[in-house]
Chains A and B, each alone.
Chain A
Amino acid sequence: MARRLKTLALAFTSLSLAAGFALAQPVEEELVLITPVAKTLTDPTLADFAKYAKEKWNVTVKTSALAAGTPVSYGRIVEWKGRPEVDIFWGGESALFDKLSEQKLLSKLDLPQATVDAIPATIGKPRPIYLKDPKGFWIGTVLEPYGLVYQPKVLARLGVPVPKDWDDLLHPKLKGHVAQCAPTRSSSSHATYEVILQREGDDKGWAWLKRLGANTGIFTARSRDVPSVVARGEFAAGFAVPSYMAFEDRLAGFDIKFVAPKTAWITPEPIAVLAGAKHPKAARAFIEYMLSERGQRVAMERGVFPITPKFRVQGAPGSRAEMAVEFTGGVRSYFDIDVTNIYDDAKAQARYQPVNEQFRKEIESAWETLKR
């Protein structure tokens, strides 16, 4: 009997100990993201974060990412109405994050001041690109340009010179050989449509985009398909491609080239913790990790750039980091060079639907006519 009591007492103590431990636990054992950022960037960072959590707190964090395009991610978060199935929203346009925080669907970040201060408020001229939210609901993680891609072998066969700027995609011999994703489907495409529209005004911009439509051989279902079809040589060149997506195809062994034209929009890939997240501590820990040197280094090997001037993409000769530098045209940090930005995100978000409507009417519906 006494023995039994003792066992019971022991069980009880260990139970309460476990409970106490759980309370004191620095991070939860799970972390879920919803993100338009491709697997090839989210998988390695999440895997390394799990390792980091194990080393730092001896906690095994089960991480997973729900892959969804920016509009879908945004839509699902809104549909969840403050009872999210995930903890973190990562990637997309910062204006969408502002919209979410207005709807009180994000929770404040409360990061260490030094971490926040290491990231400049803006980059680019004449229009600033915001790298963090002054109100503290979201923060940039990495920098990445939306540029164009091409397949050198296919271009050579067509006798088309290597493209350097957006205008080179209008080459007459590229008729039917350009891939793009509709701006109604992809936020990177939408942003680049706005770059073209804001570059020389709406009238000239739409005329330009119609000519691009005439050269287009496929409107892919998703922006990620654009570098894929170019990498395999199905199409010669692609419009509005995030640098790291193209770099992944390069890493997978394909001969694909990337160019970021001078006016290419650069996204800070914002990140935020959702209000009502089930694992807020793990979420915050992941963001801190992403902004630390360790997190930035993992990301830099994937074809994106550091969000702070503290680091530069650098590695041993032949390393992935060096491959990435070569792939993106020799840039090691966007804080080293003068960034030109003409894209006004606020303006773009304010007329999101009208631009989509005009695209549907003048390009998508008229595609057959444009191609003639």
Chain B
Amino acid sequence: MKLPRASGAALGFGLIWAFLILFVLFPLTRIFYDAVTNEAGAFTLGNFQDFFTDSFYLRSFWRSMVLGAAAVMTTSAIGIAVAFLIVRYDFPYRKTFSYLTMLPMILPPLVGVLGFVFILGRAGTVNVVLMDWFGLTEPVNFMYGMHGVLLVETVHLFPLMTLSILDALAKVDPSLEEAAQSVGASGWRRFRDVTLPLTTPGYVSGALLVFIWTFADFITPLVVGVQDLLAPQAYLNIMQFVDRRLFRMGIVISALLVLLAVVFVIAAREYVAIKDYSSLAYSRVERRRLGPVQRWLAVCLLTVLMAVCVIPQVGVVLAAVGRGWALTPLPVEYTLEFFRTVSIDTPKFIVNSFLYAGLALLLCLAIGVPMAWIMARTNAPGRGTMDALTTLILAIPGTAIGIAYIRAFNVPLPFIGIPLTGMWVILPLVLAVRRLPYTVRGSYSSLLLVHPSMEEAAANVGATRLRTFRDITVPLVWKGILVGALFSFIMSIQEASATIFLTLGGWEMIPFGIFTFYIAGSQSQAAALGVILIAVCALCLFVVNRVAGTRVGGLFG
């Protein structure tokens, strides 16, 4: 029997919701359940009371907020400047810079901060040179403390801001600015009254992500010895299991992180109100040519910025090829043995990474593209919720998802008798869930660009639905889907914060390998894996850049 079309669609719709409920909502509610119960399972708010009466946790809370806000400010300053330069002005190597400024984003967790420490640490290249050549007795503290965390987060996250602004700027209809100009508003006034409000939605979503990302990162602070922040406290308390009270506090903090993410997402949506997609089409921008001095300044500014941004990469590459590198500006002994041990001797890291991230990519496509279609083309009930959920997933800290999965899925499944946490599929699953929003956003925005009238026109001249889809829709939207999917892949293969809690022996992906090597004290092996991962991601990003230019900012909205 053939299902009528309507019920087939309903089935797909139902399946997507089932997936979202089972793998997003259910585990998150489990964390909240844990947070408001005690060891005996009775309801209590005591855990939160403990948190809010503990001066150390309160300080961590406050400092996390300050750090997040500071990161928003630094990334805004850099991100906005770079975005304006790239969209509005013409200068030599503009295209190259537009690719290069995206690169810091693909710094895998842990690798960035390690690279910085190799160059700017107390025994890093810079301090060694200062001490050995200029007679400094005490090293300059560039890294250890909040300022070090801020430095790493700024370099890592300003591209998010740049991309969000770029996307918004590229969509600003030039006629609006021309209109402002014609009534006499020029320069700063025009920027403040016309351009800025039009780019606000893009800016807010970028800022939100930077804030939450910073606030949820536990690895960077730990490497530079900062523990009084929320995310490191959640991680440290959960990773020790013996002290049950501390363990529960870790879960409480995770629940708090999720709660805050939800609050921020709602606040941001309220602020931006209804996102205006009417000017979604990218308009052609007339680029202003810069004068010779300004041109030179622009290139200089971007070059200096890039020089700071490649510090971690340089540090990691040096550490990956240097043996016993300590207290000399550059390694003394060079070797490729670390690359051999992490790739040929133990290929599992690379193999698992491609397998799981690849499967996650397929899952993202299978779920994300239909979701985008439902949101763009139908008026099915719950569309708004679906959209909100997508943003929420983007905002929820990985640690919280990892912990949520451990708590929610460690019960043996019926028939098999093994819990989901005991099967490797949980890794591609959690990756797909976490990185789904990129595929959804990418597909969604490109579907919006295709006006339904084109599809209708095709239908009018007799094309079947399938043929319309194949000949009209797909050629018009494949770029958006590809870019979104590739982003899902890049972000999956770099993911560590959720998988770190779920990985069992034999399932290790590259980021987990980096983490275990680092923990085992083999920083060179960690660095070698980091270099491999950066290379893979840079290649993917290059493809994205070729396909879509810098118009991928909408992915993060």
Interface bracket on A: 35 or more
Stretch from B23-31, B77-85, B324-332 contacting the other chain: B324-332
Choose among B232, B247, B505 the residue with the greatest number of A CB atoms under 10 Å from its CB. B505
Q: Verify if A210 is at the interface (C-beta below 8 Å from B).
A: no
Q: Is B144 an interface residue (CB 8 A)?
A: yes
**Contact status of A184 and B326, CB under 8 A, knowing A72-B241, A227-B521:** no
Asked if B245 contacts A234 (CB within 8 A), the reply is no
Q: A residues within 8 A CB of B273? A: none
Contacts of A227 in B (CB 8 A): 521
B175 in contact (CB, < 8 A): no
Cβ of A358 under 8 Å from chain B: no
Q: How far is the CA of A232 from the CA of B114 in the complex (A)?
A: 12
Indicate whether A67 reaches chain B with its CB closer than 8 angstroms.
yes
User: Contacts A86-B505, A224-B521 given: A353-B324 contact, CB under 8 Å?
Assistant: no
**Residues of B contacting A158 in the complex (Cβ-Cβ under 8 angstroms):** 137
Q: Do A69 and B323 form a contact, CB below 8 Å, given A64-B505, A157-B131?
A: no
Contact B245 A40 (CB under 8 A): no
Of A220, A252, A255, chain B has the most CB atoms within 10 Å of the CB of A252
Q: Flag if B521 contacts A38 (CB, 8 Å).
A: yes
Residue from A74, A157, A221 in contact with B242 in the complex, judged by beta carbons closer than 8 Å? A74
Q: At the interface, yes or no: B19 with Cβ under 8 Å from chain A?
A: no
In the complex, what distance in Å separates the CA atom of A61 from the CA atom of B326?
38
Given A71-B242, A353-B245, the answer on whether A228 and B521 have CB atoms closer than 8 Å is yes
Contact (Cβ within 8 A) A353 B56: no
Bound form: Cα–Cα A151–B327 in Å: 10
Are A69 and B520 in contact (CB-based, < 8 A)? Answer: no
Contacts of A234 in B (CB 8 A): 117, 121-123
CA distance A234 to B315 in the complex (A): 15
> Is B240 positioned at the interface, with any CB of A under 8 Å from its CB?
yes
A245's nearest neighbour on chain B, judged by CB, is B521
Asked if B247 contacts A67 (CB within 8 A), the reply is no
A252 touches B324 (CB 8 A): yes
Q: Indicate with 1 or 0, residue by residue over A352-366, a CB within 8 angstroms of chain B CB atoms.
A: 110010001000110
Q: A76's closest neighbor in chain B, by CB?
A: B241
Given contacts A224-B519, A252-B324, contact A218 B240 (CB under 8 A): no
Restricting to A341-372, which residues have a CB under 8 Å from any CB of B?
352-353, 356, 360, 364-365
With CB as the reference atom, state the residue of chain B lying closest to A218. B225
Q: How far is the CA of A364 from the CA of B55 in the complex (A)?
A: 11
Q: Is A281 an interface residue (CB 8 A)?
A: no
A71 lies within 8 A of B55 (CB): no
Are the C-beta atoms of A39 and B522 separated by less than 8 Å?
yes
Residue interface mask B191-226, A partner, CB < 8 A = 1: 000000000000000000000000000000011010
Contact of A233 with B123 at beta-carbon distance under 8 Å, contacts A220-B225, A352-B243 already known: yes
Name the one of A40, A154, A245 contacting B123, with C-beta atoms under 8 angstroms. A154
Q: Does chain A have a CB within 8 A of B464?
A: no
Q: In whole angstroms, how far apart are the Cα atoms of A245 and B519 in the complex?
A: 11
Neighbouring A residues of B239 by C-beta, 8 Å: 69, 71-72, 185
A 174-189 binary contact with B (CB < 8 Å = 1; else 0): 0000000010110000
* Cβ–Cβ < 8 Å partners of A40 in chain B: 520-522
Q: Looking at the complex, which one of A67, A71, A154, A248 makes contact with B519 (CB distance below 8 Å)?
A: A67
Check if A153 sits within 8 Å of B520, measured CB to CB: no
Q: Is residue B333 contacting chain A, with contact meaning CB distance below 8 A?
A: yes
Tell me the minimal C-beta distance from B448 to chain A in angstroms: 45
**In the complex, A184→B243 CA distance in Å?**
9
Chain A hits for B55, CB < 8 A: 365
Most buried by A among B333, B516, B521: B521
Cα-based distance from A363 to B144 in the complex (angstroms) = 18
Q: Say yes or no for B18: interface residue by CB 8 A criterion.
A: no
Q: B121 — nearest CB in chain A belongs to which residue?
A: A234
Answer whether residue A20 sits at the interface, using C-beta atoms and an 8 A cutoff: no
- The answer, among A72, A86, A235, for a CB contact under 8 Å with B240, is A72
Q: Is A78 in contact with chain B by the CB < 8 A criterion?
A: yes
A38 B520 Cβ-Cβ under 8 A = yes
State whether B240 touches A67 (Cβ < 8 A). no
State whether the Cβ of A211 lies closer than 8 Å to any Cβ in chain B: no
**Distance between Cα atoms of A356 and B517 in the complex (Å):** 28
Residue of B nearest to A42 (CB): B520
In the complex, whether A222 has a CB less than 8 A from a CB of chain B is yes
Residue interface bits A250-278, CB-to-B below 8 A is 1, else 0: 00111100000000000000000000000
Contact B225 A222 (CB under 8 A): no
Q: Does B506 contact A (CB under 8 A)?
A: yes
CB-CB contacts below 8 Å: B497-554 with A: 504-506, 516-517, 519-524
Q: Determine the chain A residues whose CB is within 8 A of the CB of B245 once the complex forms.
A: 353
- CB of B127 to closest CB in A, whole Å: 9
Tell whether, in the assembled complex, residue A219 and residue B225 are in contact, meaning their CB atoms are under 8 Å apart.
Answer: yes
Closest CB of chain B to A41's CB: distance in Å?
Answer: 10
Query: Which chain B residue lies CB-closest to A250?
Result: B324
B429 within 8 A of A: no
Q: A234-B122, A252-B324, A253-B333 are in contact. Are A75 and B521 (CB under 8 A)?
A: no
10 contacts between A and B (CB under 8 A): A39-B517, A40-B520, A40-B522, A67-B516, A75-B247, A154-B123, A217-B225, A219-B225, A245-B521, A252-B324
Which B residues are within 8 Å of any A CB, using their own CB?
55-56, 59, 117, 121-123, 131, 137, 144, 222-223, 225, 227, 232, 236, 239-243, 245-247, 323-327, 333, 410, 422, 504-506, 516-517, 519-524
Interface residues of A (CB under 8 A from B): 32, 38-40, 64-67, 69, 71-72, 74-76, 78-79, 85-86, 96, 151, 153-154, 157-158, 182, 184-185, 217-222, 224-225, 227-228, 231-235, 245, 248-249, 252-255, 352-353, 356, 360, 364-365
Q: What would 18 more interface pairs be, CB under 8 Å, given A64-B506, A157-B137, A353-B243?
A: A39-B520, A39-B522, A71-B242, A72-B239, A75-B247, A79-B241, A85-B505, A151-B326, A184-B246, A185-B240, A218-B144, A220-B222, A221-B227, A233-B326, A234-B123, A249-B521, A255-B326, A353-B245
